[in-house]
Structures are given as C-alpha cells and as structure tokens.
A = this chain, B = another copy of it.
C-alpha cells in the first residue's frame, strides 16, 4: 500500500538532471556525460532506508538527485552521531572510493530520495579523462574538511544550548521562513533523536534543551514545527557562549 515514488527511475538522464549544475559533474563534456549516463543507476529510497553501511565495501559513489540524506557514524558502543546532511547535488561516499577504503560512515535516507549510483570504474575513467573533475572533488573534500573541523571545535567548546541554536540557524537557511520582524517559522526535517545525534547529545538532553528554549521564550516547538520569536535570540545564544 505504499505509493511513494516509483522504484525504477532509470528513465532519468544525466543530460536532463535538474541538479547536475550543483554537482561535480557540471564540468563534464557531452561525451563524458554520455559515459556517466550509461554507467549510473538511479534508485528511490524511502525514509529510513539505508544507502550504505559503515564497513561495507565501497563500490562507487552516490549522487543525491532529490530528497535528504543523513550521514552517520557510530562507535563500537552503538552510540552514533549524525555527521552531516546530504542535499540534492551532494555526493556521498567519494572519500572512501578515492582512497579505496571501505565506507567509514553510513548513509540513510531521511526523506523520500532519488539517488544515483555510479560505479568506481566509471568514476575512475572520468577522473583520468577530465582532470577538472578531480579538482571539483578536491574542492568538495576541502569544504567537508572545513565543516568537520568546525564541528570538532564546536562540540568541545560550546555548551549544548549554543550548539542547538547553531543547528537551528543552519536549518533556517533551507527550511525556515523569516519575517521582517525577525520571527521565524521552521519546518524541521529531522526527528528529535536525529537532532540530538547532530549535536552529539542524548535524546533526553535534546528534550530538556527544547524545554529550556521554550521556558526562556526563545522558541515554541509543536511537532516538527518551530516558531522562533526572534532569530537574534539564537544568534545571541551562540555569541554568549563564545564569549561575546
């Protein structure tokens, strides 16, 4: 009875792909694009479906056409964190593919998503054919690296409230609507658990943090909808923690 998007979206072509402009593939020539198109396999995922697991052999890379993906990492204990979110145009698993390792994190659809898979051989062919592609990936890696380092700093120096405020500010750019009075309505793409995993705390602490924001009248949470009185309160929360 689940009538989500069709399972066989192989009808899609890289040539007509809406999100290609945002991917590394935008530098390919028509010839190369043909190669890519032949090599790729598109698939639909439902929320909760796993795209690849940590320690799986990496067979190639994934490219998000539409939807939302969570990149997770867990330790032996079973505790997990949500490293980052993947949006349309993002590439997944390129790190492991390029260094020939197994996947060292897992990816899971958080919303119904359409994701292309490109096998390692094709990627390698394209990389040698078009050097600019490599530089594109290099840029991507550099950006991810910078974000990861920020996350290290944040998680060791900022208190939970500030980290949560920061998360809301990040989600604002994509899911928020801000009025001119500074008020905001935000439709969260994440469950409480996932928000907790995102800032590296337990679900209980997430609940309490939300509670404290409500008590301080910074925001009201009803389900996945958030009303923020004034965005500046969130920014202030951040700056306060960073020592003005």
Q: Is A180 an interface residue (CB 8 A)?
A: no
Main secondary structure of the interface of A (DSSP, over half): helix
Q: How many residues of A contact B (CB 8 A)?
A: 46
* B242:A75 contact, CB within 8 angstroms: yes
Q: Is A122 an interface residue (CB 8 A)?
A: no
Contact B81 A156 (CB under 8 A): yes
Asked if A144 is an interface residue, CB under 8 A from chain B, the answer is yes
Give the chain B neighbours of A104 by CB distance below 8 A.
146, 149
* Interface membership of A151, Cβ < 8 A: yes
Query: Distance in Å from the Cβ of A173 to the closest Cβ of chain B?
Result: 19
Known: A83-B149, A137-B138, A144-B145. 6 other contacts (CB 8 A): A73-B153, A76-B239, A77-B242, A94-B142, A99-B146, A141-B141
Q: List 7 A-B contacts (CB under 8 A).
A: A76-B242, A81-B152, A94-B142, A95-B142, A98-B135, A104-B149, A134-B135
